[in-house]
Amino acid sequence: MYDVTATKYLHYPLFKARQWIRHPSLFTSLPKVVEVQSMDGEMRIQHRFVFPLLGERSHLCRCSLQDIIDTEIALDAKGWVEGELLSIAIHWHFLQQEEGMRMTFRGQYTVQEAIIDKLVNALRRYSPLPIRSDADAILSRGVDRLLKEEIEAYSRAYLANVCTQLITGWPGEGEHKV
């Protein structure tokens, strides 16, 4: 599991986050979302993720907003994106500040074991390490480092997309009832 936390300050009121968090943009703001479907009340996205050494892979993900706690000065929301290759537990925390709001994103990314095995094998092809008992452990640490870097970049892009939407608006803003 890869844990990423990022905090950003915006000079916008908390009510913008209250509107956004209940909108599908919570999930469609993820980088490389290609298609959005709604099936039986469940949202699904066709999502692409760039895996180091393997390149871009596409998979269908189920999305759900599990929990919203809304108080006068804070908003917490938890949700998840569950896919065949990658799953993300999403936690947003918005806190009203004197001149805007502080938003904190925490993502817990789980990469499926089959993908990690493919990454280790791909790295093995490029590795000068001789075949030895600790080669897999060394290669696994290398894969962990590569995945961590990619997931951190992905999280930064997601946070940037969310900031842009909170500042400039999102599709259907104003039509969605809070």
pLDDT per 10-residue tile (average), the chain, 178 residues = 93 88 86 83 88 92 90 94 95 93 96 93 78 74 94 94 87 48
pLDDT at 178: 35
Nearest one of 25, 23, 32 to 59, comparing CA atoms? 32
Helix, strand or coil for residue 8? strand
Q: How far is CA 73 from the centre of its chain?
A: 25
DSSP letter at 22 equals T
Domains and CATH numbers, the chain: 2-168 (3.30.530.70)
pLDDT at 177: 38
pLDDT at 5: 95
- Tokens describing residue 126: 């490029």
* Prediction pTM value: 0.86
Residue 177: HSE in the Cβ half-sphere, 13 Å Cα cutoff: 0
Q: How far is CA 58 from the centre of its chain?
A: 15
